[in-house]
Amino acid sequence: MRILVTGGAGFIGSNFIHFILKNVDGVEVVNFDKLTYAGNLENLAEIEKNPRYHFVKGDITSKENVESAITRFNVEGIINFAAESHVDRSILGPLVFSETNIIGTQVLLEAARKFSIKRYLQISTDEVYGSLGATGLFHETTPLAPNSPYSASKASADMLVRAYVHTFDLPAVLTRCSNNYGPYQFPEKLIPLMIINALSGKQLPVYGDGLNVRDWIHVEDHNRGVWDVFVKGRQGEHYNLGGMAEKTNIEIVKFILNHLGKDESQIKYVKDRPGHDRRYAMDVSFIGHELGWKPQIKFEEGLSSTIDWYLSHQSWWERILSGDYQSYFSENYKDRV
Ligand code: NAD
Ligand code: TYD
């Protein structure tokens, strides 16, 4: 089977491609990515010659780009990771979030209908449920109440997936996951930003009082769940995934500094993010009962190994900070520019 993995040059998508090539026989991956600032083909340099891997530079909002990749590779399944994914950027410039996350999803859904794709999986987020108070969890039945332009665009895409299942009997499923961490995460998100700033002797900017809570999951646990849902999930169903590891932001920042043997003087409390959601936490019992999935990587171990990964992959993140990573495509894929 050949699957189209959109956004495969990003953080979770590139980890997913590594996961499939390592753990799943008989599946070929077509990585379809626009290579925005968040797309980095260096994440896949180790496997780019693998005959089960193909790369297409393309935009999910382009019907022509999407249809040509599907027909050229005889694609039978689609997993849509492609998105604008950073909340702070959605506050500074919201429009591209609606274009990519909503229109892009609809273009993919239309193509899935047209080419009778056997399985479509939409990657969504816990952020569509809004913000929790001090107690309680997000369940699959929790009403959608997105608060940022990012989460509103993801919730809109979720609604389109639902409508295409209901109206056109599209064989689609959907996952909503909590905050991921792990290798290859772009250093604008909390964990890689804090690790790199700590290593570079810069300040660590903590928004507000630092007591906002996220439910952290290692990207490998997430991707194992994505594959379980792709293979075994019920058509039209949506599944919550989470790490069962609620942490305040300041706990994470202090853990990183402590692991690196740095003192806390680098911490700087800064102005809060507008509309900052206070707490996310997932109930993952439904996917546990239905598909037997649960997170396996303990947070402290996963975060320690992630910090060590950034320590041993300094040139990977230095090339991002300098912008050099963006020339990898033109230098290595000359025939496809
Ligand atoms: P990312 O920003 O690291 O990567 C996004 C990728 O999509 C990049 O490679 C980018 O080039 C590509 N892309 C952007 N616009 C595109 C377009 N128009 N056409 C084709 N490709 C395009 O994101 P991520 O953190 O890997 O997240 C992947 C998915 O998982 C997103 O849908 C996100 O909403 C969801 N998600 C992320 C998290 C998290 O903690 N990072 C948690 C839950 C869900
Ligand atoms: P982020 O990694 O952007 O993910 P999300 O907003 O999707 O949850 O942020 C995680 C948390 O860390 C969030 O509460 C905002 C906070 N944060 C900071 O305190 N400082 C920072 O520099 C960043 C990027 C995030």
- Who lines ligand 2 at CB under 6 A? 87, 179, 189-190, 193, 205-207, 212, 214, 249, 273
Give me the percent of the chain exceeding a pLDDT of 70.
99
Q: Tell me which residue has its CA closest to atom 19 in ligand 1.
A: 59
At residue 162, the pLDDT reads: 98
- Which CATH number does the domain housing residue 9 bear? 3.40.50.720
Q: What share of the chain is helix, strand, coil (3-state, %, to 5)?
A: 50, 20, 35
pLDDT tens, residue by residue, 131-167: 999 999 999 999 999 999 999 999 999 999 999 999 9
36 lines ligand 1 (CB under 6 A): yes
What tens digit of pLDDT does each residue of 261-295 get?
999 999 999 999 999 999 999 999 999 999 999 99
Residue 54 domain flag: yes
* CA geometry: angle 55, 58, 60, nearest 5 deg: 120
Mutate to test the pocket of ligand 2, among 178, 214, 255, 278 (most ligand atoms within 8 A of CB): 214
| 26 within domain boundaries | yes
Is residue 46 assigned to a domain?
yes
Ligand 1 probe mutation, 85, 126, 306, most atoms within 8 A of CB: 85
| Nearest atom (ligand 1) to Cα of 185 | 3
> Residue 122: nearest ligand to its CA?
1
Condensed to tens digits (0 to 9), the pLDDT of residues 165-207 reads: 999 999 999 999 999 999 999 999 999 999 999 999 999 999 9
CA of 83 to the centre of ligand 1 (A): 4
Going from the Cα of 82 to the center of ligand 1, the distance in angstroms, rounded, reads 4
- In the prediction, which pLDDT does 334 show? 72
In a domain, 317, yes or no: no
Ligand nearest to the CA of 205: 2
Cβ neighbours for 163, distance < 8 A, ≥ 6 positions apart: none
Which ligand neighbours the alpha carbon of 157 most closely? 1
Ligand 2 nearest atom to the CA of residue 86, by list position: 3
Is 90 exceeded by the pLDDT of residue 335? Answer: no
Is residue 271 assigned to a domain? no
pLDDT score of 75 more than 90: yes
- In a domain? residue 305: no
Cα separation, 273 vs 80, in Å, equals 28
Please state whether 74 falls in left (phi above 0), alpha (psi between -120 and 50) or beta.
Answer: left
Residues 6+ apart with CB under 8 A from 137: 281, 282, 283
| 142 CA distance to ligand 1 middle (Å) | 24
Ligand 1 centroid – CA 6 distance (Å): 9
Kindly report, residue by residue over 287-327, the tens digit of the pLDDT.
999 999 999 999 999 999 999 999 999 999 999 999 999 99
pLDDT at 337 exceeding the cut of 70 = no
Instruction: Report the pLDDT averaged over residues 34-55.
Output: 98
- Return the C-alpha torsion angle 214, 219, 225, 228, nearest 10: 160
- pLDDT bucket at 130, cuts 50 / 70 / 90: very high
Strands 213-218 and 246-248: antiparallel
Ligand 1 atom at minimum distance from 154 CA? 34
Residues 6+ apart with CB under 8 A from 170: 109, 112, 113, 120, 161, 164
**Residue 336: pLDDT above 80?**
no
Pocket test for ligand 1, best of 12, 35, 123 (most atoms within 8 A of CB): 12
Q: Which residues are catalytically annotated? A: 126-127, 150
Q: Which atom of ligand 1 is nearest to the CA of 80?
A: 32
Looking at residue 134, what DSSP letter applies? Answer: S
Domain enclosing residue 47, as ranges: 2-182+219-244+277-298+328-332
Average pLDDT over residues 219-244: 98
What is the distance between the alpha carbons of residues 94 and 267, in angstroms, rounded to a whole number? 29
The total domain count for the chain is 1
Residue 124: pLDDT above 80? yes
CA distance 281 to 116: 36
Would 249 be classed as within a structural domain?
Answer: no
* Average pLDDT, rounded, for the chain: 98
Is residue 304 domain-resident? no
Gap from CA of 233 to ligand 1 centroid (Å): 22
* Shortest-distance ligand to the CA of residue 211: 2
